[in-house]
Amino acid sequence: MHPLLEKKGFILDVDGVIGRGDKPIPQAVEAVNKLISMGKRVVFVSNNSTRSRRIYMQRFKEFGVDISEEQMFLTTYVTATYIRQNYGKSKVFTTGEAGLAEELKLAGHEIVDYRDADILVVGSNRQISFEILTKALRMCLDRDKIYIATNPDKIFPSEDGPVPGTGMIIGALYWMTDRMPDCICGKPERVIMQQALEYLQLKAEEVVVVGDQIDVDVLAGKNIGATTLLVLSGVTTRQNLNRMVEKFNTKPDYILNDFSELFD
């Protein structure tokens, strides 16, 4: 039996672990369902900042993973929850898409124009515009406004090539105003991982953090003191592994070709 199967909980990345884009990795999905049937506590953490959990559930159903919305920590939800816990129900302006707005409203926040907002929430937006960027800029210039970002990813490796991540907006605002977010909620930062641990009701030592990116998933696991498992079914491959380990100066505790090898 693989030593990681002694752990009580698993915090799993989605893309590159149980699927690639909208296509599942069937043997990895099977492994997740096996873990669940063994009584392991499982949650998913994703830096996706454009979709609500309601929308993401659809993908999990199509993949054939048997989990509930509560086991799904997307940065849309995590950011909305973080703001609620730290600032109460708030007036927010967001650069983000409908999925982020949906989670913000579900958490009790009000989406308002930038002049009336107390909190700027930066998330990726495929409809980003000069107007949205102008409003975000003006909020950043006002040091009384709180500034929260969903996730730090600079580039997202989409199926047809690299596209800007939420980090593009963070970088643009930093360049213009010398200001970084007061909090970034997504991996490798701690907020998303802490919410996952809290749901699992486990300590970091009792869980494995699983993902395909060293600088995102493995680092997120190390940042909370969890055991880390890198799978080579996504961004990191057998070919670029050594280069990635060197580049990010971070070594995962375990490496598998894909998640199903946990049961080999």
State the minimum distance, in angstroms, from the CB of residue 223 to a copy of itself. Answer: 21
State the minimum distance, in angstroms, from the CB of residue 249 to a copy of itself. Answer: 17
C-beta of 89 vs 155, nearer to a copy of itself: 155
State the minimum distance, in angstroms, from the CB of residue 227 to a copy of itself. Answer: 31
State the minimum distance, in angstroms, from the CB of residue 181 to a copy of itself. Answer: 13
The pair of structure tokens assigned to 167 is 């980090």
State the minimum distance, in angstroms, from the CB of residue 128 to a copy of itself. Answer: 5
**Residue 15: DSSP 8-state:** B
**Angular region, 202: left φ>0, alpha ψ -120 to 50, beta rest:** beta
C-beta of 139 vs 230, nearer to a copy of itself: 139
Q: For residue 97, how many C-alpha atoms fall within 13 Å in the half-sphere facing its CB?
A: 15
Kindly list the residues in this chain that would bind a copy of itself in the complex (CB under 8 A). Answer: 125-130, 133-134, 137-138, 141, 154-155, 161-165, 167-172, 174-177
Residue length, the chain? Answer: 264
C-beta of 130 vs 239, nearer to a copy of itself: 130
Burial 94-125 (b: 16+ CB within 10 A, else e): bbbbebbbbbbebbebebeebeebbbbbbbbb
C-beta of 2 vs 155, nearer to a copy of itself: 155
Query: Judging by DSSP bridges, how do beta strands 41-46 and 72-74 pair with one another?
Result: parallel
C-beta of 124 vs 228, nearer to a copy of itself: 124
The pair of structure tokens assigned to 142 is 């006002």
